[in-house]
Amino acid sequence: MDTIVASASVIAAALAVGLAAIGPGIGQGNASGQAVAGIARQPEAEGKIRGTLLLTLAFMESLTIYGLVISLVLLFANPFS
């Protein structure tokens, strides 16, 4: 394999995960904060809020996972090698 391609792939893989983590990080922080505020305001709804929160967090998490999949492809199944 080309050294250039290899190094570019490694950098791209790192960037893919790193950049993909930014948005979901902000979003998860927002969602968790709002959920805590909601629980503080209405403690009896805690169970429902927690369930919904976990589900939403999983959805946001999957955005990072897409980036991770891309980086895994670049590392382990590079189409340009």
Binding site for other proteins (CB under 8 A): 1, 6, 9-10, 54-55, 57-59, 61-62, 65-66, 68-69, 72-73, 75-78, 81
Cβ neighbors of 31 (< 8 A, separation 6 or more) are 53, 56, 57, 60
Which of 10, 39 has the CB closer to other proteins?
Answer: 10
Is the CB of 2 or the CB of 41 nearer to other proteins?
Answer: 2
Please identify, using beta-carbon distances, which residue of 26 and 59 lies nearer to other proteins: 59
Least distance in angstroms from the C-beta of 66 to other proteins:
6
